[in-house]
Amino acid sequence: MTSPSPVHAPRDLGEQPWFVLNSSRYRVINTRHPAISHFYALDIATPSDLTFAVPDGCVDILFDCDASRPGAKLCGTPLKAQRVDLLHQHRYFGVRFRPGVIPGFAQNLAEDLAEQQIDLQDLLPNAQDMIESITREVQFDEQMALFNGFAPASLSRTTSALTTLVIDKVLAHRGDIRISQLEALSGYTERTLQRQFRHDTGMTPKTFCRIIRCQAALSCISNGFELSFSDLAQDLGFTDQSHFLRDFKQLISTTPNDYQRQLIKSAGRARIDVTA
């Protein structure tokens, strides 16, 4: 295991890369909310068959703000690159929860939420009013304020201390940490770690590590760090470059080189407007 390197550490888990590349503008507002990582808004600029959600260990609420068919879904993290239908000329508003956090109103679904999309109206009694208000609003900051006003008290969920410890350690080491090390740090056996973590997040610790390590690689490429892919693979603790390329292709749906080329071609980072 390598020690976390500040120069290569991601700002956070960042944005869904294919959402950014297929948008005309991608806006982000960070938040100090204990359960939420950030809010985001995007417009789909051109029709594309290459819009994927990639594994990030996060649950999202995604609002489709199109006047003709407004709606909202609770989306569990994908476990591999998953095609999504973001429609041409539709506006979207999203709420991304922190890695490993399941909103309280969906806690009974935690073990089965990965790779699932559920209509918000099936989960919240006031969802229709929330959806109508948020999707009618055109100002991003007002959408965020409306969500905060409607958000149930059960938005935050108490996660077990063991799972919280695992999440913190995995994020601190960018996914490059062994289960045996988590056993030593927590004082619990692998079996207990697996059972509790899956109960709280719907993932195994090993899957979460794999996702976070690939997200760290994605962040390094997206932010333009100048290092070879072999150095990046070594820096993040992959067995070798082939292991890195295989994981990246499965989780991101393209190779690191192709992703970097598309990012440069489309000026992807320039589309992102972040408000702290």
Residue spans per domain, the chain = 6-10+158-269, 17-155
Q: Which CATH superfamily is domain 6-10+158-269 in?
A: Homeodomain-like (1.10.10.60)
Instruction: Tell me what pLDDT residue 270 has.
Output: 65
Q: Which fold has domain 17-155?
A: Jelly Rolls (2.60.120)
102 closest CA partner among 118, 113, 115: 113
Which carries the bigger pLDDT value, residue 156 or residue 234?
234
What is the average pLDDT across 121-145? 95
What is the average pLDDT across 248-261? 93
Please state, rounded to an integer, the average pLDDT across all residues of the chain: 89
pLDDT band at 226 (very low <50, low <70, confident <90, very high): confident
What are the tens digits of pLDDT across the range 166-209?
A: 999 999 999 999 999 999 999 999 999 999 999 999 999 999 99
Give a three-class secondary structure readout of 168-222.
HHHHHCCCCCCHHHHHHHHCCCHHHHHHHHHHHHCCCHHHHHHHHHHHHHHHHHH
Using CA atoms, how far apart are residues 201 and 186, in angstroms rounded to an integer? 17
pLDDT band at 269 (very low <50, low <70, confident <90, very high): low
Instruction: Tell me the three state secondary structure of residue 5.
Output: coil
Using CA atoms, how far apart are residues 140 and 152, in angstroms rounded to an integer? 20
Taking 80 as the threshold, does the pLDDT of residue 245 lie above it? yes
